[in-house]
């Protein structure tokens, strides 16, 4: 007979996505390792962006690493594919009750015992913040998100002309191109051209409204936060659904930013799962149109500590002052 875990012995694993230098990743894992019992950690590191010497973590036996044979590109299916690979690996290799998703730029903002107590006390199978896309109140936001997940995208070809122009002309050309795309998006409801902020250097993609989608009244599309916690039951349900619904996977592989919809759509629509619709990680956005959140500094601490979140993002590796201040709270 299996004895259900109590608040004190909830077995936690962290899945951390990483693509920068190892110092920040090492500090995050070291901090998480102060928890009792010590958690398991699975890291996916994008070696195409930065090499990683895993020997730096040799003193941490509970840390495991995985990589991919292709770069992880912001906004496309590669990010969600990595998560589903990680869920499968955890399901097959780790004996844990909960999996918490983080990036190397995240950090705890509350004592780790608070997270353990939160996961041990909840009756939910997942803690994830989301909403149905047809119920998003902001009209412009609802239209943009709907276009992400009900259109099928292909990359627009690039002649590389803008990159060969002087810097000032590059900015002018980019502005003009985006204005043209905005006119097309407004005038042609069956077409949507998705662009990303300039600093991401990602190609624009053109989407055509799908004639068929995986969604209906009984299985609506959801939009959700990227950082959440899943119970082992939820992990198993997601992996099983992905395995048994290849048409769902194929559809999402041609959407934009599926990491903010695909897994949550499975979870929220599963009648066997209980979902706690709350935020686990706090992110500060000064510009909602930006793909990058604000870097957290000392001025943000009071706000962070006033929330009920367990983590925040994003932190800069060089700003040890704010991380040291959080350590005073965590420990």
CATH number at residue 24: 3.90.550
> Is the confidence at residue 314, as pLDDT, over 80?
yes
63-89 tens-digit pLDDT: 999 999 999 988 899 999 999 999 999
Query: Are 74 and 113 within one domain?
Result: yes
Residues 6+ away with beta carbon under 8 Å from 64? 40, 41, 42, 43, 93
Asked whether residue 146 is assigned to any structural domain, the reply reads yes
Residues 6+ away with beta carbon under 8 Å from 220? 132, 133, 134, 265, 269
Beta-bridged to residue 151, according to DSSP, are: 209
39 falls in which pLDDT band (50, 70, 90)?
very high
Asked whether residue 2 is assigned to any structural domain, the reply reads no
Last residue of a domain, one of 162, 187, 209: 209
- Both tokens of residue 51? 């090499």
Contact 96, 232 (CB under 8 A): yes
Last residue of a domain, one of 209, 238, 264: 209
> Is the confidence at residue 315, as pLDDT, over 90?
yes
Asked whether residue 5 is assigned to any structural domain, the reply reads no
110-126 tens-digit pLDDT: 999 999 999 999 999 99
Per-residue CA distances from 136 to 89, 97, 143, 261, 307 (Å): 34, 32, 9, 13, 23
Strand pairing report for 205-209 and 281-283: unpaired
Query: Are 78 and 158 within one domain?
Result: no
Q: How far is Cα 271 from Cα 280, in angstroms, rounded to an integer? A: 22
Contact 205, 256 (CB under 8 A): yes
Query: Are 165 and 290 within one domain?
Result: no
Query: Are 114 and 239 within one domain?
Result: yes
Query: Are 86 and 227 within one domain?
Result: yes
Asked whether residue 31 is assigned to any structural domain, the reply reads yes
Q: How far is Cα 228 from Cα 331, in angstroms, rounded to an integer? A: 23
Domain count, the chain: 2
276-292 tens-digit pLDDT: 999 999 998 876 555 67
Asked whether residue 272 is assigned to any structural domain, the reply reads yes
7 falls in which pLDDT band (50, 70, 90)?
very low
> Is the confidence at residue 198, as pLDDT, over 60?
no
Query: Are 145 and 172 within one domain?
Result: yes
Asked whether residue 215 is assigned to any structural domain, the reply reads no
pTM (2 d.p.): 0.87
CA 1 centroid distance within chain: 36
Query: Are 24 and 157 within one domain?
Result: no
Query: Are 90 and 192 within one domain?
Result: no
Asked whether residue 283 is assigned to any structural domain, the reply reads yes
171 falls in which pLDDT band (50, 70, 90)?
low
Asked whether residue 81 is assigned to any structural domain, the reply reads yes
Q: What is the pLDDT of residue 2?
A: 46
Give residue 77's domain range: 12-133+220-330
Last residue of a domain, one of 152, 181, 209: 209
242-252 tens-digit pLDDT: 999 999 999 99
Mean pLDDT value across residues 192-216: 77
CA 310 centroid distance within chain: 16
CA 265 centroid distance within chain: 14
Query: Are 156 and 242 within one domain?
Result: no
128-164 tens-digit pLDDT: 999 999 999 999 999 999 999 999 998 876 555 555 5
- Both tokens of residue 116? 């353990």
Query: Are 306 and 323 within one domain?
Result: yes
Query: Are 125 and 139 within one domain?
Result: no
Query: Are 243 and 320 within one domain?
Result: yes
HEC string of the chain equals CCCCCCCCCCCEEEEEEECCCHHHHHHHHHHHCCCCCCCEEEEEECCCCCCCCHHHHCCCCCEEEECCCCCCCCCCHHHHHHHHHHHHHHHHHCCCCEEEEEECCEEECCCHHHHHHHHHHCCCCEECCEEEHHHCCCHHHHHHHHHHHHEEEEECCCCCHHHHCCHHHHHHHHHHHHHHHHHHHHHCCCEEEECCCHHHCCCCEEEEECCCCCCECCECCEEECCCCEEEHHHHHHHHHHHHHCHHHHHHHCCCCCHHHCHHHHHHHCCCCCCEECCCCEEECCCCCCCCCCCCCCHHHHHHHHHCCCCEEECCCCCCHHHHHHHHHHHC
């Amino acid at each position: 007979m299996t004895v259900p875990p109590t608040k004190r012995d909830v077995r936690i694993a962290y899945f951390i996505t990483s693509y920068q230098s190892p110092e920040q990743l090492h500090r995050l894992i070291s901090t998480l390792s102060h928890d009792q019992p010590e958690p398991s950690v699975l890291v996916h590191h994008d070696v195409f962006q930065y090499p990683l010497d895993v020997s730096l973590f040799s003193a941490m036996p509970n840390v495991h690493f995985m990589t991919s044979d292709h770069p992880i590109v912001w906004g496309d299916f590669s990010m969600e594919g990595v998560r589903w690979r990680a869920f499968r690996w955890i399901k097959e290799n780790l004996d844990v009750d909960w999996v918490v998703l983080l990036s190397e730029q995240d950090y705890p903002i509350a004592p780790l015992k608070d997270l353990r107590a939160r996961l041990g006390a909840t009756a939910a199978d997942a803690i994830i913040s989301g909403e149905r896309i047809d119920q998003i109140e902001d009209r412009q936001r609802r239209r943009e998100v709907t276009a992400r997940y009900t259109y099928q995208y292909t990359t627009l070809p690039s002649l590389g002309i803008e990159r060969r122009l002087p810097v000032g002309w590059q900015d002018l050309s980019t502005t003009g191109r985006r204005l043209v795309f905005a006119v097309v998006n407004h005038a042609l409801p069956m077409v949507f051209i998705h662009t990303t902020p300039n600093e991401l250097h990602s190609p624009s993609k053109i989407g055509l409204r799908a004639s068929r989608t995986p969604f209906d009244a009984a299985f609506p599309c959801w939009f959700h936060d990227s950082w959440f916690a899943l119970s082992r039951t939820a992990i198993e349900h997601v992996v099983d659904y992905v395995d048994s619904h290849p048409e769902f996977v194929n559809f999402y592989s041609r959407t934009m930013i599926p990491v903010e919809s695909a897994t949550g759509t499975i979870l929220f629509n599963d009648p066997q799962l209980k979902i706690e619709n709350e935020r686990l990680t706090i992110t500060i956005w000064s510009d909602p149109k930006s793909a990058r959140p604000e870097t957290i500094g000392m001025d943000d601490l009071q706000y962070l500590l006033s929330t009920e979140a367990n983590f925040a993002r994003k932190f800069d590796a060089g700003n040890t002052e704010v991380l040291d201040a959080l350590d005073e709270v965590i420990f």
